[in-house]
Structure 1
Amino acid sequence: MTETGTEAATPPPAGAPQPSRPDTGGEPGRGRRVLPPAVARLAYTNTFWIFLVLVALVVFFGAMQPNFISAVSLRSLAADTAPLLLIAVGMTYVIISAGIDLSVGSVLIFSGVIAAKTMLWLGGDGAHPDAGATSAGWTVTLAGCLAGMLGGLAWGLLNGFMVARMKIPALIATLGTLGMALGATYLITGGTDVRGIPLNFARTVGFGLVAGVPWLVIIAVLVTVLLGVVLAATRFGSHTYAIGSNAEAARRVGIRVDRHLIKVYGISGLLAGIAGCLSLAHFTTTTISGHTADNLSAIAAVVLGGASLFGGSGTVTGSAVGLLVPAVLQSGFVTIQVNPYWQYLAVGAVLVLAVYVDQLRRKARSAGR
């Protein structure tokens, strides 16, 4: 006996079975359950939580209006989102490289106008090209699309040159081209939408289906997959991440930072050009008064998808999932007949929330070092 009247604990003999602890399914004494490694990795990814938010939004709007989750409604949502998906992919490259591109919406509109005007010029009715090119063939259609894509590429390369060579901050450079591209659009069109595009273009690309899937979606997904592979599995992609993480360090190891940045912004502009052609086919007109919030939607999608506005992180897959949040919000508001001006408020709120979440992630990473 000890002085306190209790027996001193003696260890069990060597080789004797040790007393077992209650199995809590987690760390000893913590009472926590341990998730399987694969499930734990999934649960801690940003994409997983954004997917849950997306499901919640679909359920909410579906409860408010059952037609929202019908096959026709979802197909329409996918077709409407296809051009924006391409913009978000281009924005992913730019943001990973620690840049920003505010001009994508205006470049999309400009590219659509150039494509439409080219089609009308080549396939219009005699000396009056604005009379329409509805009966023009695929040669005229493809020439117009090529002109539109080259127009988008030109704006992107200009952005890259100003950022990389002239050292103008990306925010200012792309804000300037936002205004210039939109101003050029109004000068070309006189503020009037261009109509009369070839019917084969509208019927096939704009409204055509393959196994129930719109051609718009197929084209956008194929381009997205291609650029997702380029970003994740090629030297170009690794250089993009390196520049976004530390441009000076990337330059010291031999990466041509300026040239690479020009290419990155060129990709963003080219994708906006393709998006402009898809939008033209989908709406059969240029919609020059639309797409004003596309840049905000794309930025919100990329940040929601796990990219950091400070560069160096992000994935095309995450951006694609993140894009569906503002897209579902906008489509849901239309379905339940909410005032359309609320769409801008919602997209802006999502963008602010996405940036705030990005700040929290950065603080958490810094605290863990």
Structure 2
Amino acid sequence: MTTTKEVQSSVEGGFGKRSLGQRLIGANTFWIALVLVALIVVFSVLKPGQFATLFTFQTLLIETSVLLVLSVGMTFVIITSGIDLSVGSVLIFAGMVCGKTMEALSGGNASNAGWGVILVGLVVAVASGTIWGLINGFLIAVAKIPPLIVTLGTMGAALGAAYLLNNGSDVRSVPTVLNKTLGYGTSLGGIPNLVLVAVVITLIGAWLLHTTKFGRYTYAVGSNAEAARRSGIGVTAHLLKVYLLTGFLAGIAGFMSLAYYASTTITAHTTDNLNAIAATVMGGTSLFGGIGSVLGTVIGVFIPAVLKKGFNITQVPDFWQMIAVGAVLIAAVWFDQRRRRQRNSR
């Protein structure tokens, strides 16, 4: 078990004594990265003219952008030894509130709305996600209710609220300029704008986790919350901030999804919470807390995406992708448990 002295050391820079590369190689991330590279090589060899193309990789990047933003937030939560089952529903709710707001400001048809209306929609989406994050954080950190129970409840509540806002139907009136610019627009030599947004958010998340006091506190709380508290860390306040951050990112993801699909597409996001958790864990973040990286999460997000794309191109039935992803996920958790046992036996 992590002691107060060890947590204090990590807060004062103990995590910084090893380079990021050394920490990754010592974790599951390095090996998961090899799995991803191997998958890309295999599919490229099997279908070089179809898989190893610029169009395929652009499509992969676009399709994973929204999930990547959700997974960055999930990384912080799981490192604190928590869980958030509500992110998919919060994404749907934020997108729904955003869509309804833009419709209302445009007289019932937002298709021709301009950037002023879009900006208001963005603010509303982010605010909606942040409020749900605040609710989760308060119930978990202040009321001391287990994260699994809290986020299971808010998962249903957020989804139900989204259905109520539009009588169970999707919002399909979205500004055309938003869809063309953010959803399908490109810049910087053909890089999709949606991907650029995801990259910027991911880089900020990596900076926040790996180089700031907020990140060091996140690791410390996940390693041993009581020891972190005794070393002077405000554990309650920090957990509140972590869940607030996750809700904030879910709000952004809801706006991104609305821009890409030009609709709230409720049914398309019903498993996003599980996909974000799976991607984070496959990337080497420990379900027991205290271990993880944003780079690992990026890798974990792309493994299912590459498998799905590769299987589709090679005409392998989709259910094999489910089996393969499940096997990789179980293997990642097994390696994590094995590593913990080895560390505890020293």
The answer to whether structure 1 residue 191 and structure 2 residue 168 are counterparts is: yes
Which structure is richer in relative contact order (CA contacts within 8 A, separation 6 or more)?
2
Counterpart of 2:182 in structure 1 is 205
Against the structure 1 CA distance between its residues 113 and 220, is the aligned structure 2 distance closer, same or farther, given a 3 Å change threshold? same
1:335 is displaced (CA, Å) by 3.6
Against the structure 1 CA distance between its residues 195 and 229, is the aligned structure 2 distance closer, same or farther, given a 3 Å change threshold? same
The answer to whether structure 1 residue 214 and structure 2 residue 192 are counterparts is: yes
Q: How does 1:62-81 map to 2 (within 5 A)?
A: 62-65=44-47, 66-81=49-64
The amino acid of 1:52's aligned partner reads L
The amino acid of 1:209's aligned partner reads T
Counterpart of 1:101 in structure 2 is 84
Contact 2:32-2:284 at 8 Å conserved across structures: no
Counterpart of 1:35 in structure 2 is none
Against the structure 1 CA distance between its residues 46 and 194, is the aligned structure 2 distance closer, same or farther, given a 3 Å change threshold? same
**Aligned-CA RMSD value:** 2.2
Counterpart of 2:17 in structure 1 is none
The amino acid of 2:151's aligned partner reads T
TM-score between both structures, scaled by the size of structure 2: 0.88
1:114 is displaced (CA, Å) by 1.1
Write out per-residue CA displacement over residues 196-233 of structure 1, whole angstroms, 9 at most, x where no aligned residue. 21111111100111111111111111111112111111
**How far, CA to CA, are the matches of 2:21 and 2:242 in structure 1?**
34
Counterpart of 2:285 in structure 1 is 307
Counterpart of 1:55 in structure 2 is 37
1:326 alignment partner, one of 276, 292, 304: 304
Identity %: 53
Contact 1:160-1:265 at 8 Å conserved across structures: yes
Contact 2:137-2:242 at 8 Å conserved across structures: yes
Please identify runs of 4+ aligned residues in structure 1 that moved more than 6 A.
38-42
Against the structure 1 CA distance between its residues 195 and 342, is the aligned structure 2 distance closer, same or farther, given a 3 Å change threshold? farther
The answer to whether structure 1 residue 260 and structure 2 residue 230 are counterparts is: no
Counterpart of 1:142 in structure 2 is 119
**How far, CA to CA, are the matches of 1:156 and 1:43 in structure 2?**
33
Against the structure 1 CA distance between its residues 100 and 141, is the aligned structure 2 distance closer, same or farther, given a 3 Å change threshold? same
Contact 2:284-2:332 at 8 Å conserved across structures: no
Contact 1:303-1:309 at 8 Å conserved across structures: yes
Give unpaired runs (5+ residues) of structure 1. 1-37
Against the structure 1 CA distance between its residues 121 and 298, is the aligned structure 2 distance closer, same or farther, given a 3 Å change threshold? same
Write out per-residue CA displacement over residues 142-196 of structure 1, whole angstroms, 9 at most, x where no aligned residue. 1111111111111111111111111111111111111111111111222222112
Counterpart of 1:6 in structure 2 is none
The answer to whether structure 1 residue 288 and structure 2 residue 270 are counterparts is: no
Write out per-residue CA displacement over residues 317-367 of structure 1, whole angstroms, 9 at most, x where no aligned residue. 111122211222233344445555555554444433322221122122223
Counterpart of 2:14 in structure 1 is none
**How far, CA to CA, are the matches of 1:330 and 1:304 in structure 2?**
16
Structure with a larger share of its residues in helix: 2
**How far, CA to CA, are the matches of 2:97 and 2:307 in structure 1?**
30
Counterpart of 1:158 in structure 2 is 135
Matched residue SS, 2:124: helix
1:61 is displaced (CA, Å) by 3.1
Report the count of equivalent residues. Answer: 326
Against the structure 1 CA distance between its residues 45 and 258, is the aligned structure 2 distance closer, same or farther, given a 3 Å change threshold? closer
Write out per-residue CA displacement over residues 47-77 of structure 1, whole angstroms, 9 at most, x where no aligned residue. 2221211122223333454412211111011
The amino acid of 2:51's aligned partner reads F
Between 264-273 and 189-198, report the one with greater CA deviation: 189-198
Contact 1:296-1:348 at 8 Å conserved across structures: no
Between 219-228 and 189-198, report the one with greater CA deviation: 189-198
Matched residue SS, 2:171: coil
**How far, CA to CA, are the matches of 1:348 and 1:190 in structure 2?**
35
Counterpart of 1:120 in structure 2 is 103
Against the structure 1 CA distance between its residues 361 and 102, is the aligned structure 2 distance closer, same or farther, given a 3 Å change threshold? same
Contact 1:87-1:104 at 8 Å conserved across structures: yes
TM-score between both structures, scaled by the size of structure 1: 0.83
1:359 alignment partner, one of 326, 337, 342: 337
Counterpart of 1:7 in structure 2 is none
2:217 alignment partner, one of 227, 233, 239: 239
Matched residue SS, 1:136: coil
Counterpart of 1:28 in structure 2 is none
Which one has a bigger Cα radius of gyration?
1
